[in-house]
A and B are shown apart, each in its own frame.
Chain A
């Protein structure tokens, strides 16, 4: 987007035709994004960008360039957050070329400068796209983190009995986190019984089973007992077909069964009052 002072003509031309360019640009952007943004809002956004584009073209105004980049970055970030797709976001910038071209076509002496102008708009479009992607990646990373936090609560079921309801697929990172939380809870509360509830785990393959076994082993090393509960019929089927052995680890169909078992192991009995 380096334009030397010799390219002031097209800048003047665009400025002179500001109303026309802006209207046409607005139409094109509106067509791309549909009715999700009002025409007034688009016009307001484009006006700001337009002003900065003209300023950064006409004079060697470094601050205008920086500002332009900042405004475009902010715009594409907000587009990414509001669920617009990359094409819609990038078209917002690229359609400026079309809007200007339609006018330049009638003035052949500006064709040379138009190429430079087009290159500058392309650069801006790329910047938009880059920011858009970065913003989307940030969103994905944030969500992954939220999920990790959300999905690993440790609940106290009874004196000395804690439960860890697992929801979602178990991978090594999550197992590690779950294991740490569960072991810390055992140490903090002095509980002697932990129940790993896998009702919310969609599939159990050999890897997941391996992770579960590790967690149970670690609990045992602390001197507590660990029961696995919430094994659904189809999961039981998978486990058997895969030939996974849970050995002497207590497994129960439901969390209620596991609680009853744990209470029994602690010498308590639940019965009618």
Chain B
């Protein structure tokens, strides 16, 4: 099974999703992230979904869940690079991703996290 790599930059974890998101990949990612946050005592997680073109309600909910989960470890999640079509889909699905912050691109996402600490 494909895995999404998790990169560590200082106190921030960077997850760049470059593949089509399948439900099991997202579940695996959630687990990996939880482990990594604990292992690295990261304070921020950036999930870059620039390459993601299709989302469904499950993936929308999982993104939200990642946010709530990392908050338990006192890490903040920022989703960056969402495409317009994805945003419209999520809104139509009634998912406004509570508990997750968003930024236009990875650079602004990093600034958001750094401004916090």
Among candidates A192, A217, A222, residue contacting B84 with C-beta atoms closer than 8 Å: A222
The answer, among B78, B96, B104, for a CB contact under 8 Å with A222, is: B104
Cα A176 to Cα B80 with chains together (Å): 22
Are B84 and A214 in contact, CB atoms less than 8 angstroms apart?
Answer: no
Shortest B95–chain A CB gap in Å is 9
Which stretch, A32-40, A77-85, A87-95, A183-191, touches the partner chain B?
A183-191
Shortest A36–chain B CB gap in Å is 48
A17 to chain B, nearest CB (A): 69
Q: Does B87 count as interface, using CB distance less than 8 angstroms? A: yes
B104: contacting residue among A179, A180, A184, A187, CB under 8 A: A187
B108–A218 contact, CB under 8 A?
A: no
B102 at the interface (CB under 8 A from A): yes
Give 6 nearest A-B pairs by CB, closest first: A183-B84, A223-B102, A223-B103, A221-B87, A218-B87, A218-B91
- Residue of B78, B88, B101, B104 near A218 (CB, 8 A) is B88
6 contacts between A and B (CB under 8 A): A191-B104, A217-B96, A220-B96, A220-B102, A221-B79, A222-B87
Are A223 and B104 CB-contacts (below 8 A) given A180-B84, A187-B83, A187-B84? yes
Residue A224, interface by CB 8 Å: yes
Residue of B nearest to A184 (CB): B84
Q: Judge whether B57 is part of the interface by a CB distance below 8 angstroms.
A: no
Q: Is B59 an interface residue (CB 8 A)?
A: no
User: CB of B69 within 8 A of chain A?
Assistant: no
Main secondary structure of the interface of A (DSSP, over half): helix
B62 within 8 A of A: no
CA distance A179 to B97 in the complex (A): 18
Query: Does the CB pair B96–A183 fall under 8 Å?
Result: no
Which B residues from 58 to 117 make CB contacts under 8 A with A? 78-80, 82-88, 90-92, 96-97, 101-105, 108-109
Query: When the two chains form the complex, which single residue of A176, A187, A222 contacts B102, counting CB atoms closer than 8 Å?
Result: A222
Q: How many residues of B contact A (CB 8 A)?
A: 22
Nearest-Cβ distance from residue A270 to partner chain B, whole angstroms: 23
Q: How many residues of A contact B (CB 8 A)?
A: 19
Closest-CB distance, A166 to chain B (whole angstroms): 17
List, in ascending order, chain B residues with CB within 8 A of A187's CB. 83-84, 104
Q: How far is the CA of A222 from the CA of B105 in the complex (A)?
A: 9
- In the assembled complex, the CB of A228 is this many whole angstroms from the nearest CB of chain B, namely 16
Q: Which residues of A205-227 have CB atoms within 8 Å of chain B's CB atoms?
A: 214, 217-224
**Chain B neighbourhood of A217, CB < 8 A:** 91, 96
By a CB distance below 8 angstroms, the chain B residues around A176 are 88
Closest to B80 in A: A223
C-alpha gap A96/B90 in the complex (Å): 63
Interchain nearest-CB distance for A172 vs B (Å): 10
Query: Quick one: which of B78, B83, B87, B101 has the most chain A CB within 10 A?
Result: B87
* Inter-subunit contact B103/A221 (CB<8 Å): no
B36 to chain A, nearest CB (A): 23
- Chain B positions within 8 Å of A221 at CB level: 79, 82, 86-87, 90-91, 96-97, 102
Instruction: Give A140 to B107 CA distance when docked, in angstroms.
Output: 47
